[in-house]
Amino acid sequence: MIVLKIVLIGDGGVGKTAIRESYLGHGFESQYVMTIGADFAMQDDIVNGRKLRYQIWDLAGQDRFDGVRNVYYRGAKGSLLIFDVTRPDSYFNIPKWVKELWGFNGQGKIPIVLVANKIDLRELSDGEIISPDQGRKMAEKLTKLTSKEGFACHYIETSAKTGVKIQDAFSLLSENVMNLAEKRGLLKLKSSRPKSSLERQSIVKQLQ
């Protein structure tokens, strides 16, 4: 069995915990207790005939946890980067999350599936919303940064409330992680030094 550590990242309140709970089969709740630092769960799955065991790390998104999140990135092989389609700020903060993920996981650039969550609220929202086209364009920007590494970053739209595309998001991420490992002739991606602050700043500038 292949053990795959993945991290769920994004601003607080975008639905990371709801997505995790939906994937684990626990159903949707209208309110969740705020994640303090990080929460952890494990789940077995089969993707493309391979037995996988996910180590799912749900990282707190509030600014006050910025100083403690870095340690939880170490060893991650991929990420669901989640934003709320009814909260543009959570979309525009994507570069911050990419900088953290790629800067502190110990392996540099790793696969990301960009997840637009709460699509069930699009038609109910009176405020500004993030369109599918905006989501796809951000994924294209990320892919320009990873194409030389041999992988793309994908975009998917989900609803943790209805369960739409939750399973697909995890499957898409694991497929990309495993395809990259095969290209490199590895079952596990080798560790490398954490990125310097200048390298992390460069990643953000390329996304702006």
Q: Given the structure tokens 């200048």, which residue do they identify?
A: 198
Q: What is residue 159's DSSP assignment?
A: B
pLDDT above 90 as % of the chain: 51
User: For position 89, what pLDDT does the model report?
Assistant: 97
* Number of Cβ atoms within 10 Å of the Cβ of 30: 6
What SS3 class is residue 130? coil
> pLDDT by residue (tens digit) across 182-205?
887 765 444 444 555 555 555 555
Residue-wise pLDDT for 94-105, tens only, equals: 999 999 999 999
Asked if residue 206 has pLDDT above 60, the reply is no
Q: By C-alpha distance, which of 81, 66, 112 is closest to 15?
A: 81
Residue 107 Cα distances to 90, 101, 113, 158, angstroms: 25, 10, 17, 28
CA 44 centroid distance within chain: 18
- The 10s digit of each residue's pLDDT in 119-162 is 999 988 888 999 999 999 999 999 999 999 989 999 999 999 99
- Predicted local distance difference test score (pLDDT) of residue 34: 45
Average pLDDT, the chain: 83
- Counting residues of the chain whose pLDDT is more than 70, the rounded percentage is 79
For residue 127, the model assigns a pLDDT of 84
Position 202 scores a pLDDT of 58
Asked whether the predicted pLDDT for residue 88 surpasses 90, the reply is yes
Burial of 149 (0-12, 13-18, 19+ CB in 10 A): middle
| pLDDT score recorded for residue 44 | 87
Show the domain range for 180. 2-207
What's the whole-number mean pLDDT along residues 106-117? Answer: 95
| Residue in 159, 162, 141, 143 with CA at minimum distance from that of residue 151 | 143
How many domains would you assign to the chain? 1
pLDDT band per the 50, 70, 90 thresholds, residue 67: low
The answer to whether 42 and 30 are in contact (CB under 8 A) is: no
Averaged pLDDT for residues 152-177: 94
> Where residue 143 sits, what CATH number does that domain have?
3.40.50.300
